[in-house]
Structure 1
Amino acid sequence: MRIVKKPGYAVDSVDRALQLILLLQERDWLRIADAAKVLAVAPSTAHRLMSTLVYRGFALQDDQHRYCAGPALRPDPAAGQERALIAAARPHLEALAAEVRETVNLVERVGATARYLATVEGPQLLRVGNRAGTVLPVHLSSAGKAMLSTLPDQMATAVCTRQAQRGGTAMAPGELDRLLNELGAVRRQGYAANLGRTEPDLAAVGAPVHAPHQPATLALSISAPLSRAAQLQDPAVTGALAKACRELHAALP
């Protein structure tokens, strides 16, 4: 057995990032405080390293600020299918981002969560950054609500109830009734909105990618600073979003 020594020229930040990757492969979930303790660094340093791994697909974050291994660390058929999906969707994301001049996301529903698969940032100086790798409760994000709207109310209720039973973010009293009312509005207008709900300074609109009368597991969303929330709900923008969803659905195998 060859003894491997740490090279004298080792770059500390790279070494720590690689240690984080090993931790993500060993554990189901990892918190920043635990990562900082293992790496013997400040939590802020661990957070910067983890954010970079999320950006590159090596980690995913859930709504409880925990991290798990991302698609780049899962060389299985499902990961290959995901890469193919993202590759097929990217031209549509780029075209929509160029048209509406805002950040566009491809989002997948996985059970009771909305997982951001890919992002194309808008061209404006003040814009929403890359959200790929973010995981949110499905009932909070605009894309998640858009996908829930394609389910009957009974099934949407079951999805959100299972989330709370599995230790996710529980809905506040009365929130389910408000959500079901909102899903009715989403079905009528064709898109869902999120105005400062998940992040105080962020607004988004989302629409499902699906055939008529079928449940959606994919959605597109457009994100912008909250100061441009009104522009996001302009008929020209929501119309472009709906058109992109139809074209993406037609392009998928």
Structure 2
Amino acid sequence: MNQLLQQVKSVPGVSGILVLDKNNSTTYQLLPASFSVEVIKKLAVRLKEIASTWAELEQTEIKFESGYAKLVHTTSSVAFLLAKPEIYFPDLNLVLKSVLPQIEKKISRANPFRDVEPEQLYAVSKVNVDLLVATINLVAGKYRDLLGAYQATQNLRKSKDKILNIFPYLTNFYVDNQARVSFLKSRQEIDQARIQEAFSNWIYSFKAYCDHAAPAMQDADIKELTAELKAELAKQGFYHWYEALTVS
């Protein structure tokens, strides 16, 4: 995703871009340093409100003393762009015409259940937890064999803590001193609709931490690491979530 955002930001006069995924309120951005996390959150909320009142493919440009803001509403996202006074909109629009469909495609891959009937989603969700715990334990076990239990455990806990503010229901999962994850069923209610997204992020972040200490594993494909569970994971759409992270 960052490569696509960079293509837009590289247009002369563009100073920043943010894309809001309307389906799960995720944002992707390359913005000036003056945009704090809190400002970005408020901007995302406002963009979602605007999107609810706009028709698809609607767009507008707003002129300020210091430059322009441009909003583009697509099927799955809202793009917010900041530009300097010297921006040449025909060039920008040409790039957007190419890049926005690619962004839409990536967002669609990141939301594989968007068009699934509720009954189908419930049937999938019922098997999520046990399978996902087995998956992260399978991956962690392979890194534990390389790095040892201590480092694998530290990386599991660190990667979990990194995303806990986004997926607070991961407090349901405990990491023991042998780099094994277990499910604590009595704690916070799990968001079934996002549990695969949460585990994809957790495994992705864990692998990134481990790969610093085990460079030979950097090119290891997630399907190779989870070969023993590949059929079940493919059936419930796990790889769609994970692969969306690897191309972002």
What is the TM-score normalised by the length of structure 2? 0.28
Larger gyration radius, structure 1 or structure 2: 2
Structure with bigger helix share is 2
What is the TM-score normalised by the length of structure 1? 0.28
